[in-house]
Amino acid sequence: MVELRKFPRFKIAYSSTKTQKWGTAIQTSGSGKVRTLTNRIYPQWLISCKIPALTNEEQNELLGFIALGRGAFTPFLWWDHEHHHEYKAQLPMITPGIYQAVMRIGGYAQPVSYIEKVTVFIDGQKQAENAYAVSNGRIRFSASPPGGAVVTATYDYWWKVMLQSDSIAVEQLNANLAKTQTIKLVSVE
């Protein structure tokens, strides 16, 4: 898998929004019976945000980041200011010895594809860093935990996203201050 670049961590305006989209088709018959259908296993997240203050150096960093990814052509990693950390999250097992990192929002859990600052526990006991490897949001143990063991982990995660449109707009406010118009991102798998 190609290593994804991380979007620069600028201060985001408080007016940011996050929308969950399932793409559900709803069909209602003449009698009022309803049928629904979605082809999504996980929701698509739409993130809208603004960066209220950028120095000229930060503006160049942002524009260069977008140019290197060729606009919406290349997905990247986004550190969300509200949803980015899990503390002792119980991990689902994919196969013996391989566990998937997740983000939890309320009672819902969704796989994540990039984690860092990882600490792993088996039945509450902290594991040595050389006892496992982390790749693509998965934790692979060198020796599988015993059957029935509860594997939990604490980590930071980044969202895999791309620009919803192919452009980004930056407004120059004065000699060394700029701001962005709304940046629209969409989650990808």
pLDDT digits (tens, 9 = 90+) for 50-77: 999 999 999 999 999 999 999 889 999 9
Q: Which two tokens stand for residue 141?
A: 């143990």
CB-based contact 6:75 (threshold 8 Å): no
Q: So what's the pLDDT on residue 81?
A: 87
How far apart, in whole angstroms, are the C-alpha atoms of residue 155 and residue 102? 10
How far apart, in whole angstroms, are the C-alpha atoms of residue 159 and residue 38? 22
Q: So what's the pLDDT on residue 174?
A: 92
Strand pairing of 132-135 and 138-141? antiparallel
Does the pLDDT at position 107 exceed 80?
yes
Does the pLDDT at position 9 exceed 60?
yes
CA atoms within 13 A on the CB side of 40: 15
pLDDT band at 2 (very low <50, low <70, confident <90, very high): low
Does the pLDDT at position 163 exceed 60?
yes
CA nearest 181: which of 157, 163, 154? Answer: 163
With tokens 């290197």, the residue in question is 68
Predicted structure pTM score: 0.87
Does the pLDDT at position 14 exceed 80?
no
Q: Residues near 61 by Cβ (< 8 Å), separated by ≥ 6?
A: 8
Q: So what's the pLDDT on residue 39?
A: 87
Strand pairing of 138-141 and 25-28? unpaired
Does the pLDDT at position 1 exceed 70?
no
